[in-house]
Structure 1
């Protein structure tokens, strides 16, 4: 979400870390590409170079590079003086080979994680993860709308914002409960659910809010929140059904 996210949106998004804790599975795990942190580092470096301390940044960066090269050159001369290839070429080869090795390790780790996830993925969990994506998308849309409003467009302000946030809070609670329930059933196939509080939901409240809000922008958001909640409720009922 945006840097200037409003206080009422804080804590609403269901993060990847929270999803992993709720499901006890490496969901939403992405393959790490070593080029990504390098790109980010380059962007930060260029940004700082354009600033008031640009000369200092350039000097420090150049000094680090030269120092690293000198250390590498000394190591080569001490332990591999039989190599005739220029040390700078060797440094490039070592950097390339090291990067390739690290990337292969990341790939093997990612493939293993994907295998674990595939073996434990249930149809219910897949549906719930899709609902989480939709729920987070609603929050992202609100955040972007807030940024547009803050940029000087008051006409896009969401009316009755408190009801929208309340609806999302209720939906979040249902999603969390459903994910907890799915995990219990997945990890305990023959477990008979006796904790009725896990299945408590707030659909009646959501429905009451939604009835008179259909034509407005915040009504659309409430409809989206309600639809997600209905999907969650359906999944929870299906989870409780034996077989």
Structure 2
């Protein structure tokens, strides 16, 4: 990613911090991370340090098995099944317990998010997704250009980056405003006289893209993303 794009994307961590909600809540599947770890080990084994990785992995597994076998004999000598089979059962049971806890956490966060979700927040989250998609599209276009296709270079790049920076500032400001309104909704409604001049504007906060400078910039950036998609399709057809 080029230097002028670094830091423009609104990350999941920043989005959750700005909203104070688990807006990117995903169910963690243990097997998925086990597969990632397995692929990592396979790559290590295939690399120059393969022998070392195999030795360390085998040593760690053997040490864990011996330690487990000793503990079983000391604490549960009455168990007659082989320790390796017991270790397998324990791992399966432990994996099931952890996955169940992860599922309950995911359900709790999902229900909490559903209760706190507002119409304005839905609109803003959709805009953030579109905004991040623009940055991704431009990054892909930059990679295509770097691969030897100068004809796909983005014209007036400085203006594009400036537009993205302004859009990011607007999105961050809107997300902060939405969070303040959401977390103080009861107080605002019960003290509406204190907000006589600004209450109507704040409580009806919407992303009016067509009527604001933010909308003009966003539409311009969206057009850039469409141009990028067109160029990518043209290059694919040529190939």
TM-score, normalization: structure 2?
A: 0.80
Structure 1 pair 12–147 and aligned structure 2 pair: CA distance change class (3 A): same
1:156 Cα deviation after fit: 2.1
Aligned to 2:224: 221
Number of residue-to-residue matches in the alignment: 211
Asked if structure 2 preserves the Cα contact closer than 8 Å seen for 1:164 and 1:222, the reply is no
- Distance in 2 of aligned mates of 1:75 and 1:205: 65
SS of the residue corresponding to residue 7 of structure 1 reads coil
Matched, 1:38 2:41: no
1:148 Cα deviation after fit: 2.1
SS of the residue corresponding to residue 9 of structure 1 reads coil
- Distance in 1 of aligned mates of 2:102 and 2:223: 41
- Distance in 1 of aligned mates of 2:31 and 2:142: 32
Deviations, residues 62-97 of structure 1 (Å, cap 9, x unaligned): 111111111111111111111111111111111111
Matched, 1:60 2:60: no
Q: How does 1:139-150 map to 2 (within 5 A)?
A: 139-150=135-146
Q: How does 1:14-93 map to 2 (within 5 A)?
A: 14-93=10-89
Gaps of 5+ in 2: 189-194, 228-239
Matched, 1:175 2:171: yes
- Aligned Cα RMSD in Å? 2.7
- Distance in 2 of aligned mates of 1:66 and 1:223: 56
Deviations, residues 193-230 of structure 1 (Å, cap 9, x unaligned): 58x9x99x9944874897xx8xxxx7822889xxxxxx
- Distance in 2 of aligned mates of 1:167 and 1:69: 59
Asked if structure 2 preserves the Cα contact closer than 8 Å seen for 1:73 and 1:87, the reply is yes
Asked if structure 1 preserves the Cα contact closer than 8 Å seen for 2:22 and 2:109, the reply is yes
Gaps of 5+ in 1: 225-243
Asked if structure 1 preserves the Cα contact closer than 8 Å seen for 2:18 and 2:172, the reply is yes
Quick one: which of 104, 111, 118 aligns to 2:107?
111
Aligned to 1:238: none
SS of the residue corresponding to residue 43 of structure 2 reads helix
Q: How does 1:136-215 map to 2 (within 5 A)?
A: 136-189=132-185, 190-191=187-188, 192=195, 193=198, 203-204=212-213, 207=216
- Distance in 1 of aligned mates of 2:8 and 2:160: 12
TM-score, normalization: structure 1?
A: 0.79
Structure 1 pair 21–139 and aligned structure 2 pair: CA distance change class (3 A): same
SS of the residue corresponding to residue 4 of structure 2 reads helix
- Distance in 2 of aligned mates of 1:118 and 1:135: 23
